Amino acid sequence: MGHAGAIVSMGMGSYESKVKAFQEVNVPVARTPTEVVKLIKQYIR
């Protein structure tokens, strides 16, 4: 489990609250593993 998953599982926030916080500061959030690849490709070109 990653850092964000550990925080959610300890009752400190939710997936939705984390996505919202990232989106509010224009940080893209992948919803699937395939989207992770697409996002990374956008930033390494």
Q: pLDDT digits over 2-44, tens only?
A: 555 555 666 677 778 888 888 999 999 998 989 999 999 998 8
Instruction: Measure CA of the first residue to CA of the last residue in the chain; give whole Å.
Output: 29
What type of residue sits at position 25? V
CB proximity list for 37: less than 8 A, separation 6 or greater: none
Domain span at 13: 3-44
DSSP assignment letter at 12: S
Residues 3 and 41: their CA atoms lie apart, in Å, by 23
Q: What is the pLDDT of residue 37?
A: 93
Residues 7 and 33: their CA atoms lie apart, in Å, by 20
Q: How many domains does the chain have?
A: 1
pTM over 0.75: no
Q: What is the pLDDT of residue 43?
A: 85
